[in-house]
Structure 1
Amino acid sequence: MTASDSRVVVVGGGMAGHRLTEQLARHGGREVVLLGEEEWPPYNRVLLAEVLAGRYAAEVAALAPLPPQVVRRRARVVRIDRAQRRVLCDDGSAVGYGDLVLATGSNPVLPPLRGLFDDSVAGRERHELPAGVFAFRTMADCADIDAYLPQVRQAVVVGGGLLGVSAARALAARGVPVLLAHQGEHLMERHLDADAAALLTAHLTDLGVEVHTECRVRSVLTEDRRVSGIELADGFRPAAELLVLAVGVRPRTGLARAAGLATRHGITVDDRLCTGDPHVFAVGDCAEHRGVLYGLAGPALAQADRLAEVLAGRDTGQGAGRAAGYRGSRLLTRLTLAGPGGAPLDLAAFGATEADPDDRVIRLADAARGTYRKVIVRPDGQGGDRLVGGVLLGDLDTVGTLAHAWEGDEALPAHPLHLLTTQSTTTGGTS
């Protein structure tokens, strides 16, 4: 047996990789090496918008320092040698492993917009974004946008999902006029229904964000490879010195695919978070479990916790692991938007946002206060009802009670209206 036989190598220093190494160090008994390519120490990606808005310093978003027994190296892994059980890094070094965990996360999607890349030149320059065009995914992106802001009079954010909405309101908080362009029928359609999205749109408008939905961006306009605006499909050409692309993310599966591991949309894993190789695992944004890619912090942390138990129970890489498997996560998304005069708008969404024909929908709305509560109740086939989803904006006093009933799949009372009027003492979920 060599020293590397009991070593766990984690590739990726994001939230999932950081959490996994923390938990492995707590369990003890195995050497742990974390390989991350970002220059920033591990940080809470959920707080990026708060950093961009100027509400938090970057240091506030930093995660707790890793335990001293964890070896952390800044290195980019370029190849997995499964036969020799080692990873090869871009600096020419090789690191042997007993078990390997891929926590490679995801990359921002860059849409195929005309003018985004320069097709007139070859090589690396062709793939460089024009000056003033940024993705919004990492702390480096946040720092780059912040450094560019002094020369910005107008910004455009493309994408009205959770990340795009967060970026738009962060820029508005910095005093920058923002146009938010979204191709869908309403903002955050994965999480909100049309009524809740209308309240969100009104809130963003109050912040100074100009919201355009059902519009497709056709081209990026540039002058000397510096962004000057965009062109929409209807011919409208808003000017902009800053363009933020927030149209989604794509799991980083290249390492796994090149090593012959199974991938679909992500790296496919079983309930033990294991790939087809018994010594290679995956967690977080890159992992596809039972056909689901979560892409949120809560499931990534839950996967890391469960995998730490699995790996801690392995007998120097030979045993089967004694921990119970990961069964999936139920998603509760939360977002807080700072409003005019400092008044925030809180948002929470979980489960189904649209009802099936046999479902009951219960709503409470107060337009004057800007609050909206909706739950979807479904017959369970045994004479009772189950809570299957909900959307809340404004006062979120009830979110803890609702989340508890939903996550526990509890039978509901005959008149579940009280769920929308009962205050919680706790809240649950992650964004």
Structure 2
Amino acid sequence: MTSNTRVVVIGAGLAGARLARRLDELGGSVVLIGEEEHRPYNRVLLAEVLAGRYAPEVIALPAPARLTRARVTGIDRAARTLHCADGTVTAYDTLVLATGSNPVLPPLRGLLTPGGHELPEGVHAFRTMDDCLGLSKAVRPGSRAVVVGGGLLGVSAARALAVRGAQVVLAQQGERLMERQLDPSASRLVHRHLTDLGVEVHTESRVRGVRSAGGTVRAVEMADGYALDTDLVVLACGVHPRVGLAQDAGLAVHQGILVDDELRTSDPHIRAIGDCAQHAGTVYGLATPALEQAEVLAELLAGDAGRADARYTGTRSLTRLTLTGQAAPLDLAAFGEPDPRPGDDVIQLADATRGTYRKVVVRDDRLVGGVLVGELGTVGALARAWEQAEPLPMDGAPPLHLLTNDGGS
């Protein structure tokens, strides 16, 4: 990147903020455009803000020198300019889309107010700092709250609300909590953790609608017709890549914005990273791949100060959830394929009294997946063994040392 090359990054989340900061460090000219009024922040820690453990400023990210708050409404690829809602026009030499993802709003009856643009008062998505602060302001000890969705986000939100003293019901349509990441045994431990905090967990339970009065939520209607009176509803039904700008500009989009190993889109002057990007058929939607993509792209865009041979070839990403505080901590990790195939070796250690569980799956002498709940002292060593994909020293016996070594975290 020469000194007069202008890089503009749309999106001030983890990926965009990391890229802008790295380019600043490498001596480049970069403008970061963020839509939110808040300083860039670590979205992964929003549940801890909701729980009252962290103040919003604690999870703030280092801001680059040139941060503009604006909503980009269009991209003129021919002129290489951006148009913003406030009427400003910004030129770019290289544009980076780090637009992230939007929360999925389930097709519930009564979810949107008349006109179809707003959620009833008391119904909250849980994706942004504003969502988090709105929930924090609304929740009170004894408040009745229904969390819709039992994935990673729903579990985090339910726990945080329970810690704040709310009466929480979690409704999960699937058979178990966090079914994408955890096997049945680990899911049961998470279920037990929530119930110990007073959360009422319903699996295989579908929400059909939201009942409001005077624009304020009053109840959640279940598929069996039963109505749960509630003061708050939290929608934690997943996310989808935010690709509207890219689509309107005519870029190649499938599930996410299609990018190659140099994070280049179908326009050679436009790159994409983070939750909005789809690389080699995968949209990760996780922090680690977003940060790795930002690091690679910073090297590519930094010219003589970077590495022209830098490439992003994918991330073998470990999902980790760590929730601490005065309530019982919840610490879990999952990676790879936790469900074995025929012929795989499975090593498990469980302690029902302490609420800990460790399991790894070994295939052809290689670690292919695992899940751990509580006491994650081995997670660092396991993650390295999995990422390296090298044969394990089996010595004719199950590699129990993978689960009993308390170092390497």
Superimposed CA distance per residue, residues 265-309 of structure 1 (whole angstroms, 9 cap, x where no aligned partner): 110100000001111000000000011011111110000000001
Q: After the TM superposition, which residues 165-244 of structure 1 pair with which residues of structure 2 at under 5 Å, given as runs?
A: 165-244=155-234
1:16 and 2:6 are equivalent in the alignment? no
Q: Partner of 1:63 in structure 2?
A: 61
Q: Determine which of 355, 361, 366 is the counterpart of 2:346.
A: 361
Q: C-alpha distance in 2, partners of 1:253/1:371?
A: 40
Q: Partner of 2:24 in structure 1?
A: 25
Q: Partner of 2:99 in structure 1?
A: 104
Q: After the TM superposition, which residues 192-341 of structure 1 pair with which residues of structure 2 at under 5 Å, given as runs?
A: 192-313=182-303, 322-338=308-324
Q: Read off the aligned partner of 1:210 and give its amino acid letter.
A: E
Structure 1 residue 314: deviation in Å?
Answer: 8.0
Structure 1 residue 334: deviation in Å?
Answer: 1.2
Q: After the TM superposition, which residues 30-109 of structure 1 pair with which residues of structure 2 at under 5 Å, given as runs?
A: 30-66=28-64, 70-109=65-104
SS in 2 for 1:396: coil
Structure 1 residue 150: deviation in Å?
Answer: 3.6
Q: C-alpha distance in 2, partners of 1:100/1:59?
A: 29
Between 406-415 and 45-54, report the one with greater CA deviation: 406-415
TM-score, scaled relative to structure 2: 0.96
Q: C-alpha distance in 2, partners of 1:342/1:254?
A: 40
5+ residue gaps, structure 2:
none
Superimposed CA distance per residue, residues 53-83 of structure 1 (whole angstroms, 9 cap, x where no aligned partner): 00111110111232xxx31110111111110
Q: Read off the aligned partner of 1:43 and give its amino acid letter.
A: Y
Structure 1 residue 420: deviation in Å?
Answer: 0.7
Superimposed CA distance per residue, residues 332-390 of structure 1 (whole angstroms, 9 cap, x where no aligned partner): 11112348x643131111111211112111111111111100000011xxxxx100000
Structure 1 residue 321: deviation in Å?
Answer: 7.4
Structure 1 residue 151: deviation in Å?
Answer: 8.7
Structure 1 residue 413: deviation in Å?
Answer: 1.8
RMSD between aligned residues? 1.8
Q: Partner of 1:382 in structure 2?
A: none
Structure 1 residue 91: deviation in Å?
Answer: 0.9
Q: C-alpha distance in 2, partners of 1:294/1:17?
A: 15
Structure 1 residue 393: deviation in Å?
Answer: 0.6
Q: Read off the aligned partner of 1:334 and give its amino acid letter.
A: R
| 8 A Cα contact 1:181 1:213, kept in partner | yes
Q: Determine which of 356, 364, 372 is the counterpart of 1:371.
A: 356
Q: C-alpha distance in 1, partners of 2:188/2:360?
A: 17
What's the % identity of the aligned pairs? 61
| 8 A Cα contact 1:163 1:246, kept in partner | yes
TM-score, scaled relative to structure 1: 0.91
Aligned pair count?
A: 405
SS in 2 for 1:165: helix
| 8 A Cα contact 1:152 1:241, kept in partner | no
